[in-house]
Structure formats: structure tokens, C-alpha cells
């Protein structure tokens, strides 16, 4: 039977980081699906494949396109697969968070520049991507530091 750092039995329990990564991934899947549902997405008839001209807004607030919804859906599905291991969960959260911070920078840099804005990112979307990026990155780097390491984080691998 596996034991945690404090010696408690862990049989049947998933490390917290895997549970959190799976929840974040499921949220991305949900957001991706909701983006294709008229009513939940307002002005659904104005939904375009890509570009900043899409008039569709998820929950009436976040500008979306088919490509944007697919990116969220694929992110969630990949995250669900990666959440099956501690390393995968940590990588999904940390790398995914860094990527979403990149999306925030992209949205911030392209706001008002129609020629380079191939993905609809508006002000509320920029704030959401900033929040998601920092949140995922923090969870991936800080949550459950000793899970999967076999000991304390400062214990070298070659010594018990």
C-alpha cells in the first residue's frame, strides 16, 4: 500500500494535483461545448470560424469563434488525458498556464490591430486569460509539492 510523506495510507486516493488538473480540464471542455450552444452563446448567428469579426459572445460577455471554442475543447481533452499522472497533471497546469499567459499577451498586443488578430480576444477575454494563466501556473508549480517525488522536495533523488 502506498504511503504519503506523513506515512498515511493513500490507497484509492488520487493526489490533489491530479484532481485539480482534471477539474480544470473538465471546465475547459464545458466552456468549449457551451460556446457551440445557441442561447448560452449570444448572437450565435454571427459566429465565424476564426478572426476578430465574430459577433458571438459566450454568456453574453466573452467573444468567441469556432476556432476559439475548439481550442478550449481540445485543451480540456488533452488536460483530461494528462491528469491521469502526477507529472502530466503538473505539466498541464504549469505549461497550460504559461500558454494562456501567452494568449493574454497576444490579446493585449493585438487589441485594435485588425490585421493580426486572427482569434477573437476582447477585453473580458483578456482578463479571463490572465486569470486562467496565473491560476493554472500557480496550481501547477505550487500544489502538492511532494506528490510523486518519493520524499521531501529538497531531498536529492540519490539519497533517501
Residue 4 near residue 15 (C-beta atoms within 8 A): no
Distance, CA of 136 to CA of 132 (rounded, Å): 6
Condensed to tens digits (0 to 9), the pLDDT of residues 16-38 reads 999 999 999 999 999 999 989 99
φ/ψ of residue 15, rounded to 5:
-60, 145
Residue 144 near residue 16 (C-beta atoms within 8 A): yes
What pLDDT does residue 45 have? 79
Order of strands, edge to edge, in the sheet holding 62-63? 41-42, 57-58, 62-63
CA distances from 53 to 33, 46, 47, 75 (A): 21, 9, 9, 23
Confidence of residue 154 (pLDDT cuts 50, 70, 90): very low
Q: Does the pTM of the predicted model rise above 0.95? A: no
Distance, CA of 21 to CA of 107 (rounded, Å): 25
Average pLDDT, rounded, for the chain: 80
Q: Which single residue is written with the C-alpha cell 501556473?
A: 137
Q: Report the percent of the chain where pLDDT is more than 70.
A: 74
Residue 114 half-sphere exposure, CB side, CA atoms within 13 Å? 2
Amino acid at each position: 500500500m502506498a504511503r504519503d510523506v506523513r506515512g498515511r495510507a493513500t490507497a484509492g486516493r488520487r493526489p490533489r494535483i491530479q484532481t485539480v488538473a482534471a477539474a480544470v480540464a473538465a471546465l475547459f471542455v464545458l466552456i468549449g461545448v457551451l460556446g457551440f450552444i445557441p442561447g448560452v452563446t449570444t448572437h450565435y448567428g454571427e459566429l465565424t470560424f476564426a478572426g476578430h469579426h465574430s459577433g458571438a459572445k459566450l454568456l453574453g460577455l466573452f467573444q468567441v469563434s469556432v476556432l476559439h471554442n475548439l481550442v478550449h475543447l481540445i485543451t480540456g481533452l488533452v488536460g483530461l488525458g494528462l491528469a491521469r499522472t502526477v507529472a502530466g497533471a503538473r505539466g498541464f497546469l504549469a505549461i497550460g498556464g504559461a500558454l494562456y499567459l501567452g494568449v493574454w499577451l497576444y490579446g493585449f498586443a493585438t487589441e485594435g490591430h485588425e490585421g493580426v488578430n486572427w482569434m477573437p480576444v476582447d477585453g473580458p477575454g483578456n482578463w479571463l486569460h490572465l486569470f486562467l494563466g496565473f491560476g493554472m501556473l500557480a496550481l501547477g508549480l505550487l500544489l502538492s509539492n511532494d506528490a510523486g517525488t518519493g520524499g521531501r522536495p529538497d531531498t536529492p533523488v540519490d539519497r533517501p
